[in-house]
Structure 1
Amino acid sequence: MPDLHTTSPVDPARDAPPYRWRWPALVAVLTAEIMDLLDATVVGIAAPSIETELGGGSTMIQWIAAGYTLAYAVGLITGGRLGDRYGRRRVFLLGLVGFVAMSALCGLAVSPAMLVTCRILQGLAGAVLIPQGFGIIKATFPPRELGAAFGAFGPAMGLAAVGGPILAGMLIGWDVGGAGWRTVFLINVPIGLACLALAWRVVPESRSDAALRLDPVGMLLVGVGLLAAVFPLVQGRELGWPWWTFALLAAAVPVLVLFGRHQAWHSRTGRSPLVDPALLRNRAFRGGLVVGLVFFAGMTGLALTIGLYLQIGLGYSPLRAGLTLAPWAFGVAAGAALSGAVLANRYGRAVIQAGSVVMAAGMLGLIVTLELAAEPVTGWQLAPALAGCGLGMGLVMAPFFDIVLAGVTLPMVGSASGVLNANQQLGASAGVAVLGTVFFQVAASGTATAGMQAVLWSAMGAVLAAGALAVLLPRRARPEA
C-alpha cells in the first residue's frame, strides 16, 4: 500500500497512476463541507428552543448565528493560504479537530455567552478546515476525473443548505434523550470523528512548491475589510439598519481596495500574497465570483425566508417545517444527478443557465400556489413547486465549481478556495439581509404570505440575473471536452 501521508500522489504533468484512495478522500472532504453548511443553517430553526432554555434575550440569540458567520467569513482567505504553506492535510485535520471540539462544547453550553463564544471559535475552525478541500481534490485527482470530483461539491453544498433546516426540525422534534436543540450541535461529534478517522487514513499531504510566507498586513486588511462588509449584512436587519451599518459597508470598499493593492505589490516584489492577482485575470474564476455572489444571495436568502414563513406565517412546528422542505432537497439531488451524469460535461455553462430558468419557474409556481391555494397552505400544495426549485438549483450547482476552478493551478488553489468561499459567504449574508428585510417589512404592512411572495419575486430576479451573468464563464470547464 502506498504511503498515504507523503506529498500529493498525483502529478498531473506525468502519466502516473491515479491515487488509489482518491474517492474516499473526496468523501472526507465533502463530509466536512456538509457539516459546516449544516451548522450555518440549523440555528434558524433551533433558535426559539435555545432562547427558551438558556434565555439571554433576542440579541444574544442572534449572535449564535452571527458569531459563526462573521468568524467564518473573516478567516476564509487566510485559512486557504495556511494549507498551501503548512500542508493541506495537516491544516485540514487541525481544522476538523477544532470544529468537532467546538461542536461538542456548543451542545454542552450552559449559558448564552458560552454558546456564542464556542460558535465564534467553531466558525474560525471552519474557516481553517473548509478551504483545504478544493486543494486536496486538485492535488489528488488526475485531470480527467477533476470534473466529476468538483462536480460533487455543488450538490453536496446545495443539499446541506436546504437539508440543514430539515435536519434541525427533525432532531428537535424527536428530542433524542431529552437533548432537544443540543442535538443539532452534538450530531457533529460522531460524524466529525468518523470523518477524522477517514481523513487521517486516506487524505494525502500536499502543499505549494513555492516558498510561501504568511502576510500579516494582508491578513489584517482582508480581515478588517470582510468584517466591515459582512457584519452590517448579518446584523443590519435585526437592528433596523442604523446609519453606521451603511457607513461600515462603505468603509469596506477602500479597505478591500487597499488589500488588493497590497497583494499586487507583494506579487511584483516576489513576496507571497494571500491572493495572487493572477487569479483575477483568470476568466473562469473572475466570472465565477460574479455569478456566485448573485446566485448564492438569491438561493440562501430564499432558503432562510421559507423556513421563517412556514413557522411564523403558517404556524408550522420545526419538524413540520423541515419535512415540508423535503421536496426541495429531493429536487436538488435529482438535478445534480442529472447534471453531473449527463449534461455538465456536454453543455457546460448552458446547464447553469437552464438551471436558473428552472429554479425561477419553481419560484413562480410557489407564488401562484400561495395566491390561489386556500389558507392554511399545506405542504402537499407547496411540494411540486419546491421540487422544481430544487431541480433547478441542482442543475446550477453541479457544474459551477468545476467550471470556476478548472483553470486554477495547484499553487494558487488554496488562495482561490478561500476567495471563492468568502465570496459565497458574502453573497449569502447579503441575500439573508436583503430578503429577510423584504419579508418582515412587507409582512408587517400586509400578511406573511404577501411578504413571502415579495421575497420570491426578488429571489427570482437574483437567480435569473445569475443565469444571465453566466456568459462571463467559459462555455466548458475544459475546452477539449
Structure 2
Amino acid sequence: MFMAMFDYFVVNVAAPSFQHDLHATDAGIELVVGGYGFAYAAGLVTGGRLGDLIGYKRMFILGMATFTVASLACGIATDSTFLIIARLFQGATAAAMVPQILALINAMFPAGERARAMAWFGATIGIGSVAGQVFGGALLQADLFGLSWRPIFLVNLPIGVIAVILAARWLPAARGGQRPGFDPIGALAIAGSIALALVPMILGRGEGWPLWTWISLIASVPAMALAMRWEARLARRGGSPMVDLALFRERSFSVGLGLSGLMLAMFGGFMLAVTLFLQGGLHMTPVHAGLIFGPLGIAFATSSMLARRVTERIGSRVIAVGASFSTSGMVLLGILLAARGTQITAAELIPSLVLVGTGNGFVLPSLVGSVLAGIRSKNAGTAAGMLVTAQQFGGAAGVTVLGTVFFAALGAHPAFGDYVSALQWVDGAAILAIVSILGMAFLLPKRAPGMAATR
C-alpha cells in the first residue's frame, strides 16, 4: 500500500524534471501524472474480482511482481511516450495488488483483530502519501548517481522483490468460500465507464475543457447505467457479475462508499491547493514544501492507530469525530488566511494541516472497516476493489474541481495575494465538503453489520 500511494504522489514533485529531460509536452506531463491514477481506478474492480477467482495471495504476488517490473520500465524510460505507457502499466498492476490487501485483512484476521489491521492500513496510506512528496523531493535533490528523477521509480525494485518473497512465504492461500466466475463484458463495461469520466478529469483543465471532455463526462453516466443493468441481468440469470448489486443493500457499504469518495475528493483537492500555494505563492522548493506536510503525515498515522480504540467505544461515530477535527483545521486555516493575508508564512499553516491530518486518520481506517465489515467472503476482493475505486475516483474529481476553483481564482498573472485568495476559495469549498461528510457519517449504523463475525 505504501508503494501504491508513494507512486501516486511522487510524480507531482518530479514533473518539471520529466519535462526538462524528456522534452514532454504539457499534455504528456498530465498523462505521466494522471495516467497512473486512471489505470489504477479503472482496473480496481477487475483486480478485486480476479482475487476472488484465483486467490488473494496469488493475485497479490502477481500484482506486486508486475508492479516492480513496471517501476523498472518507468525508471529506464527514454522518452515521454515510453514513460506514459509505463505509468499506465504501473497503475494497472497497482490495481491488481491493492484490492488483495483489504481482502486478505478481511479474510485473515478475526473480527476482534481486524480493527488493528485496518488502523495500520490507514497509517500506511498517510505515510505513503506524504512520503511521496517529502522523500520524492529528497531523491530528486540528491540526484543519486546522476540519475535525476529515475530513482523515484527504481527505489521500488528492492522493495518489490523483498515483498514478493515475504508474501510467498507468509501469506495464506485465502479466497472466497465459493469460486465465482469471471464476467469479461462487465469488466470492460465498468472500466470503460470509469475511463469516460476520468480521462476528461485528468486532461480537461490543461486542455481548456474542449467539447470532447464534456461529451465524455456526460456519456459516462448512461454508460455506467448500462453496465449496471448488464450486471443485474447476469445475476438474475444465475451468472457471476463483476459487481454484486446486492452489496448496496447494506447501508454501511453504500453510505460508506459515498463517504470514502467524498473524503478523498476533499483531501486530494485540498492537498493540491496547499502544494500550489507553497511552491507557487511562497516559492518553496519541492523538498521544503513536502516537509511542511510532514506533521500532517505524522498526525494521520497517529490518529489512524488511535482510531481502533475510539471505535471500540463509540463505533462508526468515530467518523464524525474525525470529520470534526478536519473541519476545525479548515476553519482555522480560513481564519489565518483572512487575518494574516500576504503576511502569512508556511509555518503558520502547520497547526491547520495537523488537524486535517488527524481528522483524516480517524476517518479513513474506520470507513474501510465499516464498509467491508458485513461483506461475505466470496465478494471480499470485489468489494475492496469497489471501495478503492470510489476513493480514487473521488480523489481525481476533487483534484479536478478544487484545482479548477484554485486556478480560476488565481488569474493569469498572479501575485502572492492572488494565491492567498485562491487558497481561501478552496478552503471554503473543502469546508462545505467536510460538513457534508460530517452529516453523512450519522447515516452509518453505529455498529456495522458483521463486526462480530465475518459472514
TM-score by length of 2: 0.94
CA deviation profile, 1:4-46 (whole Å, cap 9, x unmatched): xxxxxxxxxxxxxxxxxxxxxxxxxxxxx11111111111111
**Is 2:405 the partner of 1:402?**
no
The one-letter code matched in structure 2 to 1:131 is P
CA deviation profile, 1:244-269 (whole Å, cap 9, x unmatched): 21221111111111111111111111
Distance 1:320 1:371 in 2: 24
Pairwise CA distance, 1:452: 1.1
2:14–2:149: 8 Å Cα contact kept in structure 1? yes
Q: 2:427 aligns with which of 441, 456, 464?
A: 456
1:314–1:376: 8 Å Cα contact kept in structure 2? no
Pairwise CA distance, 1:99: 0.4
Q: Residue in 2 aligned with 1:174? A: 142
Q: 1:74 aligns with which of 39, 42, 62?
A: 42
Q: Residue in 1 aligned with 2:436? A: 465
Distance 1:258 1:119 in 2: 29
- Would the alpha carbon gap of residues 334 and 208 (structure 1) be closer, same or farther in structure 2, given more than 3 Å must change? closer
Distance 2:204 2:341 in 1: 35
Distance 2:114 2:154 in 1: 33
Q: 2:70 aligns with which of 102, 111, 121?
A: 102
2:47–2:97: 8 Å Cα contact kept in structure 1? yes
Gaps of 5+ in 1: 1-32
Distance 2:134 2:179 in 1: 45
Q: Residue in 1 aligned with 2:447? A: 476
**Is 2:14 the partner of 1:43?**
no
Pairwise CA distance, 1:160: 2.2
Q: Please identify runs of 4+ aligned residues in structure 1 that moved more than 6 A.
A: none
CA deviation profile, 1:438-472 (whole Å, cap 9, x unmatched): 11110116611111111111112112211211122
Distance 1:369 1:108 in 2: 45
Q: 2:337 aligns with which of 345, 366, 370?
A: 370
Q: Residue in 2 aligned with 1:337? A: 305
- Greater shift, 389-398 or 160-169, is seen at 160-169
Pairwise CA distance, 1:400: 1.3
Q: 2:357 aligns with which of 383, 390, 409?
A: 390
Distance 2:295 2:180 in 1: 46
Q: Residue in 2 aligned with 1:354? A: 321
Distance 1:102 1:50 in 2: 17
Q: Cα RMSD (Å) of the superposition?
A: 1.7
Pairwise CA distance, 1:67: 1.5
2:26–2:206: 8 Å Cα contact kept in structure 1? no
The one-letter code matched in structure 1 to 2:419 is A
**2:442 aligned counterpart, secondary structure:** helix
Pairwise CA distance, 1:478: 5.6
Pairwise CA distance, 1:162: 3.2
- Would the alpha carbon gap of residues 256 and 478 (structure 1) be closer, same or farther in structure 2, given more than 3 Å must change? closer
CA deviation profile, 1:218-269 (whole Å, cap 9, x unmatched): 1121111111111111111111222221221111111111111111111111
**Is 2:351 the partner of 1:380?**
no
Pairwise CA distance, 1:200: 1.3
TM-score by length of 1: 0.90
Percent identity (aligned): 37
Pairwise CA distance, 1:295: 1.0
**Is 2:411 the partner of 1:444?**
yes
User: Alignment length, in residue pairs?
Assistant: 448
Distance 1:309 1:126 in 2: 30
2:180–2:378: 8 Å Cα contact kept in structure 1? no
CA deviation profile, 1:132-180 (whole Å, cap 9, x unmatched): 1121122211222122222332222233223321222222122233223
1:54–1:111: 8 Å Cα contact kept in structure 2? yes
Q: 2:400 aligns with which of 428, 433, 446?
A: 433
